Amino acid sequence: MVLGYIQRPMEWAFEKAELGFDVLFGRAWNPLFYLGALCYFNFWIVAASGIYLYIVFETSVLGAYNSIEAITQEQWYFGGIMRSLHRYASDALMLTTMIHLLREFALDRYRGVRWFSWVVGVPMLWLLIICGINGYWLVWDELAQMIAVWTAEFLDWFPIFGEPIARNFLTKGSLGDRFFSLLIFLHIALPLILLLLMWIHLQRMNRARINPPMGLAIGTFLMLLVLSLIYPAVSHPQADLSHVPEVIHLDWFYLFVYPMIDLWSAGPVWALIYGVTGLLIVMPWLPKEKYDAPAVVNPDQCNGCERCFDDCPYGAVIMQLREDDSPYEKIAVVNADACAACGICVGSCPTHTPLRRGDHITTGIDLPDLSLHQLRGQCVASVAGLPDDTPKVILFGCARAVQVEAMNIPGVATVELPCTGMVPPSLLDFMLRRGGADGVFLTGCGDGECFHRLGGRWVEERLDGTRETYLRTKFSKKRIRLDWASSADGDRLKEDIIAFRDSLPGLPDESDLVETNGVDET
């Protein structure tokens, strides 16, 4: 696929950047894992500082520039800082938005069930740019004057107005105070519309992160504050429609389109904007791909516990009141259009616990293309095919991370899954007790990098007993290893797997396993 030649180098670059940020900030505060949350955080800084600026702003031709200059020069210790925070948080919002867009594209997280969030994000991007341009008009300095003239000429390319808009910027007297009343109205209304779109953007995401970790948030704010003190935002000279400004300093985050207008003229730039917008909108279907069948619910096994509902990253599982003779009040229902077939719901279902060797597994929710019954059979067969002269390890991996099937490590059987979160703890317990495995190794893209967002987190919480379903038996944790790794960590992961395999002979045997509820699984 042609897009793959673009995505793979970008993915490699992001993986290297993530490793670098891990060193600088620690994995828990890695900003690349919280780009969406940082967008929200920067938005709130812009909103809070904007409220103060609105209070002191005068909506008139003469008052607009003077009111901003007053707080910048005379009240530099607070008003000036608020103005600078407003400017730099706006730039940070644009920067994190663009990196977020590029990372989602690089990691192929924009198609399939994610098409909705991607498509909603396209008008959000343009609305953000318009909000930034509108904000620069309000200062009404020479930069604002140039933007106003360029924008008017740009819009006049469409013959839809009775008179050219650019006529409003020919002389000093051609512009009235109502113009600034309109600008301030737009500068309040457009961010509110943007906030609404940000809410819609998350509607198909369960447990979306809209707040970065406290440490990352404090660090981001302090960075913006220090930047505001060292390099405060200042105005150009006051706008004067009687002459053309000679030198202006552009904010390239928002005003990048204007040099293109000056260089190419309006027509080609309009064509570019429409072309890029159209391409972004249709990208989730270029090319159209075949996806695995969505999860299905077995009504006879579903007890309405809501665990699959809680764990689904995409909100594809909903709970409805039952209309049959079941003793349970609710039943899970899968929205096929929102299901990514990640299998996380299978790992959360409790009705397959405990797993026995001879039973045909029928669970409350399952994947048609890879049922839990098929998965157990695959695991048992894979371990049975290993030689007896080395410890036997079963390695579970994620199809979106390191390709575990290509590792070819002696004594290690590999099972690749749509997401490591599909593995129920009862299967791990079964493989150690009855499936012939001496050890279990789980890997995948992990929390923060997880293609399906929540799979890594749920695996960790299920294994440490803080999230149901959890392991039914207490056993030596040295017989199970969890090691997240991106596709760039293949060599390091292989060494860790070999070291884990070689450590197994010295560990306690099955006598170390102690039942917690007295159930015999034979």
- How many whole angstroms separate alpha carbon 506 and alpha carbon 499? 12
Domain assignment present for 106 = yes
Q: Is the pLDDT of residue 520 over 70?
A: no
Of 66-80, 261-275, 508-522, which gets the smallest average pLDDT? 508-522
368 plus 262 within the same structural domain:
no
| pLDDT tens string 276-292 | 999 999 999 988 778 88
What pLDDT is attached to residue 517?
A: 36
188 plus 262 within the same structural domain:
yes
The domain spanning residue 281 has which CATH number?
1.20.810.10
Domain assignment present for 520 = no
Mean pLDDT across the chain, nearest whole number? 89
User: Which residue has better confidence, 231 or 158?
Assistant: 231
Select from 228, 255, 285 the last residue of a domain.
285
174 plus 195 within the same structural domain:
yes
User: How large is the greatest C-alpha to C-alpha distance in the chain, in angstroms?
Assistant: 93
246 plus 341 within the same structural domain:
no
Boundaries of domain holding 392: 296-515
- How many whole angstroms separate alpha carbon 21 and alpha carbon 17? 6
Residue-level length of the chain: 522
- Per-residue pLDDT, averaged over 120-134, amounts to 96
Which residue, among 371, 399, 396, has the nearest Cα to 382 in the 3D structure?
396
- Per-residue pLDDT, averaged over 372-381, amounts to 93
275 plus 307 within the same structural domain:
no
Query: What is the band of 474 on the pLDDT scale with cuts at 50, 70, 90?
Result: low
DSSP structure class, residue 292: P
Q: Is the pLDDT of residue 519 over 50?
A: no
Query: What is the band of 372 on the pLDDT scale with cuts at 50, 70, 90?
Result: very high
What pLDDT is attached to residue 405?
A: 86
Q: Is the pLDDT of residue 489 over 60?
A: yes
Half-sphere exposure of 522 (CA within 13 A, CB side): 3
Select from 285, 306, 325 the last residue of a domain.
285
309 plus 265 within the same structural domain:
no
Domain assignment present for 291 = no
Select from 244, 265, 285 the last residue of a domain.
285
What pLDDT is attached to residue 515?
A: 40
Query: What is the band of 62 on the pLDDT scale with cuts at 50, 70, 90?
Result: confident
Domain assignment present for 75 = yes
Domain assignment present for 407 = yes
319 plus 281 within the same structural domain:
no
What pLDDT is attached to residue 490?
A: 84
Task: Please report, rounded to a whole number, the percentage of residues in the chain having pLDDT higher than 90.
Answer: 64
Domain assignment present for 521 = no
What pLDDT is attached to residue 518?
A: 35
Q: Is the pLDDT of residue 27 over 90?
A: no
Domain assignment present for 212 = yes
Query: What residue type is assigned to position 61 of the chain?
Result: V
362 plus 447 within the same structural domain:
yes
Instruction: Give the number of other CB atoms < 10 A from CB of residue 160.
Output: 7
Domain assignment present for 522 = no
| pLDDT tens string 195-218 | 999 999 999 899 899 999 999 999
243 plus 307 within the same structural domain:
no
By the 8 A CB rule, do 330 and 322 touch? yes
Q: Is the pLDDT of residue 2 over 90?
A: no
228: phi then psi, degrees, rounded to nearest 5: -65, -35
Q: Is the pLDDT of residue 180 over 50?
A: yes
220 plus 160 within the same structural domain:
yes
The pTM for the full model equals 0.89
419 plus 476 within the same structural domain:
yes
369 plus 268 within the same structural domain:
no
Structural domain total, the chain: 2
What pLDDT is attached to residue 448?
A: 76
Query: What is the band of 162 on the pLDDT scale with cuts at 50, 70, 90?
Result: low
| pLDDT tens string 327-364 | 899 999 999 999 999 999 999 998 877 676 667 888 99
